[in-house]
Structure 1
Amino acid sequence: MDTAVVLFTRDLRVHDNPALAEACAGAERVIPLYVLDPTLAGLSGNRSRFLHQCLADLREQLRERGGDLVVRTGDPVAEAIRVAREHDAATIHLAADVSGYARRRERRLTDEGERHRIAVRLHPGVTVVDPGVLRPGGGGDCYKVFTPYFRIWSQTRWRAEAPVPQRVTLPDGIAAGHLPAIPDGDSPHAAEGGETVGRRRLTAWLSSIDGYGIDAYPDVHDDLPADRTSRLSPYLRWGCLSPLALAEAARTRDAEAFVRQLCWRDFYYQVARVFPKLSTEPLRPGGDRGWRYDEDALAHWQDGLTGVPVVDAGMRQLRAEGWMHNRARLITAAFLTKHLGLDWRAGVDWFFRWLIDGDVPNNSGNWQWVAGTGNDTRPGRRFNPIRQALRFDPEGVYVRRYVPELKGIDGPAVHQPWRLPKPVLDYPGPLESHRDEAVWLRG
């Protein structure tokens, strides 16, 4: 009987999972495998909790179809090869990814597979359009500017969604292994992980009831107090939802503004594919300026104690929820780099530490955009945080939600710099403000 292994990585779902679908279609027995990688453990308490919730839900989804999630701990390459050899599997399927770590893992797995005469098949599924498919004329490796990428991306024929397997049959005698207890995260109000929760949120988002949902998105996505973005980004990051299925659903609703944000996500994935040092080196030659290094200022920013209310609200939302509104991400990132003059890499690390949806392509790519070191045609743009707050939180509802010290101040007055024993800086006054062009996935 033919046997195949499906190595799950960031595709923790059964709906539109090409790797799982092809394995079930081509083999009589399938081993759905997840390897807990010690190299990635401990990077983020929030993401560890979300991941383990996703794995528990994936196990239930597979059990409903007669299978199970086989869990091992160690090096994913060594464990996948070991499981395949123990059960005479001829093929290992997995979703292709773009980070430097993921691509090294894919190369090692392919090499080890050849050595043991096990075929390794890479599949799409992490993005809407495969990161390596669209390339600019003139021999470039990837698009550096979003608008031409969006134009060709919108005209590209997308793949068909993969069918959901009706039955998953394990080999006889295989030990599924135990999932560790779900760890405590660092944010008390973080979202719950898993495909089941993600699909429930997606259904609510597509229903567009009472001013919440995809139909209202163009009018409310920047409204800080309303908080009417989809909040689907963690489920996309972990593959609980298919980005293709979401894009198809949005396109049938003629929701171009939301589809555009999914294209931004694909855009940074194709950048990260050819620029694996996106988190540590500037994309724009000479883009790094003379950053200053001030541990006290950085700590004030991290703790939400800068004295600029909207900045502090955003940073406190990050800690409380493991998530931050897209507009607040823009404001807080611009404040760190353009106002405090601190290195964008410190921001990359801090967001990556707390964000459930934190990943290399979007987190690092957007930080570089804001800092002026990345894919922005106007790297010198600046944002006035108080002007941004008055525009997108005019009555201060968002600020008072996360900065309780200011609850006694009514209306727009809450946005004036508040007094601290040791303010991080004197607010420099009005700064040049450009048309708002936030690019963080508005999830």
Structure 2
Amino acid sequence: MFCDCSEKGKRTPYNGLKISSLKNEKHLLGLNNCEEEKRDDNLRPESEHLRNTRYSVFGLGSRAYPNFCAFAHSLDTILHALSAERLLKMGEGDELCGQKESFKIWAQDIFKAACGAFCVGDEMTIRDAVGAFSQTDLTWSPGKFRLTPSEEISPDICEGLSKLHGKSVFSCRLIESKQLQSLESSRQTLLVRLDTQGASELLYTPGDHLAVFPENSPFLVDKILACLHNAPPVDQDVKIEMQSERTTPLGNIKTWEKFPRFPICTLRTALCRYLDITTPPTQSFLKILATQATKASEREALENLANDIKEYQDWRHDKCPNLLEVMEEFSSLMISAALILTQLPLLQQRYYSISSSPSVYPGEIHATVALVKHRTQGGTGPLHEGVGSSWLSRIAPGTIVPCFVRTYVCYFCLKM
């Protein structure tokens, strides 16, 4: 298997890779998310061809950037030129257009192609195995998810974020959020001072970054909550359950199981702290929304956006709509709380350069944050604010700020 990383400064396993080392491989699977540069310098043709090698490539990228999946296409071309047998046309996953769904379809197809090429399993076994993809699929379908009241105690926000993101999140307290420029200035910058409360995990060195988990705008959250269909009380602790089906000697049995994505929380907490409600929806999410529109004209418009990449990109670039604006534009939508909680992406941490010295300010972390504000539709649309910067500007001293320190990894450092 090949794997590449588009994050600059990271080492990749391609360095020093030689084509001749692949001749004993029977099946190659290529996964890549780097479209900024072509990485074929280490994959130059050699005298030995890959006549006995069979492969398939799936590329990950974003059409927002040039050279979409460039490395994956280059790798696919080189392997084919070296006489390797392509089992399946190269798959592509677009970050802006339901890459998980694209990968799921490709994975099913390559599994069937590989089983046929290597004469593994009979038709029934292959069909059952491919069916496992849909059984573990977490995408939306009516009646597949539900919210039920929970008697369990919901975790505090840092514990909940730690479980949700699979990393340790710690609490700082805001000491001060100070404007560094006059209110008349066209740009606003904050000096944010945080008390680490003595946490050794929040010690830092030059070059490290502070990762902050912000909170969505309460105004935006309240408006969305008011638009949800048949939602439970917004401040009641709930759990998400997913219907699963298993085969027994007595036949297929459907049961409700706890959905592993979320900790126990209220609907308000989920929208405030856990879910991304400001990023424009993907085409795959719009496809789901189309099934919830009660007006035929709006359903058709959503389907067009979900299927026409050019129309979608124009709409996204012009309006850059958040979830509330989508719900207002397509007012016939009957969106359930279960759909929102299971299909929206997670609210990600924001990274800020640390602008303090641990020797001068022990027990503190300072960050200099630019306030992000802009109007969509060429300056005539609604005002959009950065989630992280706007939250840090409005919270009061003493507020808990969930965060962690991302250590800078230096592969080439001069020692004094």
Query: So what's the TM-score if we normalise by structure 2?
Result: 0.28
Q: Which has the higher strand share?
A: 2
Normalised by the size of structure 1, how large is the TM-score?
0.26
CA radius of gyration, larger in: 2
